[in-house]
Amino acid sequence: MTETTYSATIAATLAEAMRADGRVVVFGEDVALGGPYLTTKGLAEEFGTERVVNTPISEAAICGVAIGAAQSGLRPVVEIMFIDFIDLAMDQLVNGAAKAHFMSGGQLAVPMVLRTQGGAGQRAAAQHSQSLESWLTHVPGLKVVMPSSAREVAALLPTALADPNPVVVVESKTLYFRRETLPDGGVVPEPLGRARVLRQGGDVTIVATSRMVHEALEAAAELEGAGIQAEVIDPRTLVPLDLPTIAASVARTGRLVVAHEAVRQGGFGAEIVAQVQEACFWDLDAPIARVGAPFTPVPLSPVLEDAYLPGAAEILDGVRSVLR
Amino acid sequence: MGTDADGAGALDASIARRLLVTMWRIRAFEERLEPLKRSSMVHGLTHLSIGQEGVAAGVCTQLADDETVYSNHRADGHALAKGVDMGRLLAELMGRSGGCCRGLGGSMHVVDVSHGFLGATGVVGGNLPFAVGSAFAGRLLGRGGVVVVFFGDGAAQAGIFAETLNLASLWEVPVVFVCENNGFAEFTPRSAHTRVERVSDLAAPFHVAAATLDGNDVAEVYRVFQGVLGEARAGRGPFLLECLTERLSGHYVGDPGGYRAALEDEAWRARDPIQRLVRQAAARGWFDEEASHAAEAAAREEVEAAVAFASASPFPDPALPAELTYAG
């Protein structure tokens, strides 16, 4: 077993990809210095600043440069330091990267990975704490991955890097330095679009993303003490979504709680709920519960932010509501 | 705007003939688009470049297939001049499966990788940074390669223009930014949008070598672009060429531009890039007006063949959009 962190696993996975393939390059603000969360630590030292390119604060152009580079033979990795700034690159991502293959009748491909991170909990306030992944899931042509642990980074980031499409990897700032042990010999890369069942149970299904996976596991442990067996599923990729795994679980348990840190309104949970009820409405024994943040910007004040952040307690409330 | 007297210096008879043929092909094609659009054969927003053919011809005819061009929403001329097949281009505008993008892209999204035409964009200025990325890739992969990106003066007011120019300059990539300054952004004159009269002035703070030239003089476009192309092929750059030009049609088909009336106008006849080239060529004994008529007739014949090809091409299979949303 190897002790590591989410952040170190990102850096190690990028380094491995860059060693194996000279076409992989990294663009982003401060990436040659390792970045504020050390996710590109050591890359510039090993691969040089020709391939680990520090950029000015020009999110749109950075993303556009990566698209052009991808169309001309490179496999760029772009880092947008906070997902709150992805809106600055949204035209490039949505009108450029996502549609190039389609609009060119299949002539062009944009094999790029855009890494970014979201999430609250670090008193970073409303412009550095958002969870905006549902914007991205609304765009045909993009894939969206949300690794919930170092293990999932190791399983999914290599696949994202090898994908011929633009893939957005939404990391979580609160997970970067969480300690974790990975098996010796590493984790075998896995395809995108497969959910992972982290805990089996027959009474209720909890589908949770990113940081909320850990909150769901905590809630499930507590429920077990009360004699309730919760099944916890991490979709891992939102696009493509592994509906069959989720629907099969709901068909058995008859009850579903969907949990994410993003605001509930318009969040990806709504999509999961819609797809589940289309697939197995008659298996449901209770209305589906959605756990997410309230429909306000993220507040600064610690007292308010703690109240804002959904966690295990809110998931437990959701479970109680579906078991009523 | 200069006169025609001495502009043809960089040309010879065969280059001049090639430019003439290219300009007539663009004009004949776009003139035919008007009735096709009105009879709902051509679909989507169709932006004509009649009057601006000299820029497309003067630039693209000098590029090899493996040299890359990105274009803007007014792309037909650039595409034809870069070698995109006229029949496949028209089929694309008509939404047919024989189109160069299989009918999925249309006029504002024309791509033909085999001719280095990596694409138009419907977002003004949206693909400016693609050009920088493409040139960056060519350099890193040891392949080199010049990248040209066309844009209108309207794009210069978008933030992405400044971001891109800054990166291009910082990384010294062999990109040639070719601005077609027709004095209008959509329907509004440039003076209402900015106090900066010349787009080339915007290049100066970024230390990007820039020139403003008469884009309605194809010989001047050819000569100036030939100079920067040599530099760019040696890996140097970036460069910005601002080609002052005049669009004779409206912003898009259906816009009441009334260009046909203008074609008869004496002042326009003096500035029409085709007629100017004919006068230059005649003065040098390269060819006369008869040759121009012949080139026009050949172009119109090619256009009719393209119409026949495109009209015979079936509409795409309904399964195609789902098939091509993702690669692989």
Q: Which domains does chain B have, with CATH numbers?
A: 12-309 (3.40.50.970)
Phi, psi of A172 (to 5 degrees): -120, 125
How confident is the model at residue B3, as a pLDDT?
47
The CATH code belonging to domain A2-182 is 3.40.50.970
Residue of B nearest to A65 (CA): B133
The answer to whether residue A59 is catalytic is yes
Residue A187's pLDDT band, with cuts at 50, 70 and 90, is: very high
| Residue B245: both structure tokens together | 């030009």
> At B232, which amino acid appears?
A
Kindly give the pairing relationship between strand B175-181 and strand B147-152.
parallel
* Burial classification of residue B83, based on how many CB atoms lie within 10 Å of its CB (0-12 exposed, 13-18 middle, 19 or more buried): middle
How confident is the model at residue A103, as a pLDDT?
98
pLDDT at A295 over 80: yes
Helix B13-38 and helix B218-233, axial crossing angle in degrees, nearest 10: 110
**Secondary structure class of A77 (helix, strand, coil):** strand
Tens digits of residue pLDDT in A104-138: 999 999 999 999 999 999 999 999 999 999 999 99
List A59, A152, A231, A271, catalytic entry: A59
> What residues of chain A lie within 8 A of the CB of B104, using their CB?
102-105
Q: Could you tell me the end-to-end alpha-carbon distance of chain B, in angstroms, rounded to an integer?
A: 50
The answer to whether residue A260 is catalytic is no
Distance CA B70, CA A104 (A): 13
Q: Could you tell me the end-to-end alpha-carbon distance of chain A, in angstroms, rounded to an integer?
A: 42
Residues of chain A with CATH 3.40.50.920: 196-323
Instruction: Name the E strands within B17-67.
Output: none
- Mean pLDDT on A238-243: 98
Whole-number Cα distances in Å, A228 to A201, A208, B156 = 8, 18, 62
* Burial classification of residue B172, based on how many CB atoms lie within 10 Å of its CB (0-12 exposed, 13-18 middle, 19 or more buried): middle
HEC readout, B244-268: ECCCCCCCCCCCCCCHHHHHCCHHH
Distance CA A143, CA A165 (A): 7
Query: How far apart are the CA of A276 and the nearest CA of chain B, in angstroms?
Result: 22
- A 10 A CB-CB count for B184 gives 18
Distance CA B148, CA B156 (A): 16
* Burial classification of residue B301, based on how many CB atoms lie within 10 Å of its CB (0-12 exposed, 13-18 middle, 19 or more buried): exposed
| Nearest Cβ partner for B126 among A51, A96, A103 | A96
Distance CA A169, CA A154 (A): 12
CA A125 from chain centre, in angstroms, equals: 20
R_g of chain A computed on alpha carbons: 19
Interface mutation target, options A71, A77, A94, chain B, most CBs of B under 10 Å: A71
CB spacing of B163 vs A61 below 8 angstroms: yes
How confident is the model at residue B254, as a pLDDT?
57
If you search the block for the tokens 């596991």, which residue do you land on? A217
CB spacing of B132 vs A61 below 8 angstroms: yes
| Nearest Cβ partner for A95 among B68, B126, B327 | B126
CB spacing of A105 vs B102 below 8 angstroms: yes
Task: For chain A, give percent helix, strand, coil, nearest 5.
Answer: 40, 20, 40
**One digit per residue, pLDDT tens: chain B, 328 residues?**
344 545 577 899 999 999 999 999 999 999 999 899 999 999 988 888 888 999 999 999 999 999 999 999 989 999 999 999 999 999 999 999 999 999 999 989 999 999 999 999 999 999 999 999 999 999 999 998 999 999 999 999 999 999 999 999 999 999 999 999 987 766 677 788 888 889 999 999 999 999 999 999 999 999 999 999 999 999 999 999 999 998 776 555 555 555 555 656 777 778 899 999 999 999 999 999 999 999 999 999 999 999 999 999 999 999 999 999 999 9
Tens digits of residue pLDDT in A34-82: 999 999 999 999 999 999 999 999 999 999 999 999 999 999 999 999 9
Q: Which of residues 129-168 of A touch B (CB under 8 A)?
A: 140-141, 143, 163-165
Distance CA A131, CA A122 (A): 13
Residue of A nearest to B145 (CA): A72
Query: Are the C-beta atoms of residues A39 and A8 closer than 8 Å to each other?
Result: no
Size of interface A-B (CB pairs under 8 A): 155
> What residues of chain A lie within 8 A of the CB of B133, using their CB?
64-72, 74, 76
Q: Per DSSP, what are the bridge partners of residue B219?
A: none
Whole-number mean pLDDT of chain A? 97
Residues of chain A with CATH 3.40.50.970: 2-182
> What residues of chain A lie within 8 A of the CB of B100, using their CB?
105
How confident is the model at residue B158, as a pLDDT?
94
* Burial classification of residue A254, based on how many CB atoms lie within 10 Å of its CB (0-12 exposed, 13-18 middle, 19 or more buried): middle
List A101, A128, A214, A260, catalytic entry: A128
Query: How far apart are the CA of B14 and the nearest CA of chain A, in angstroms?
Result: 33
How confident is the model at residue B2, as a pLDDT?
42
Query: Are the C-beta atoms of residues B328 and A159 closer than 8 Å to each other?
Result: no
The CATH code belonging to domain A196-323 is 3.40.50.920
Q: Which of B103, B100, B122 is nearest to B111 (CA)?
A: B100
> What residues of chain A lie within 8 A of the CB of B327, using their CB?
101, 106, 109-111, 164-165
Nearby residues of B310 by Cβ (< 8 Å), 6 or more positions away: B87, B90, B91, B93, B94, B96, B98, B99
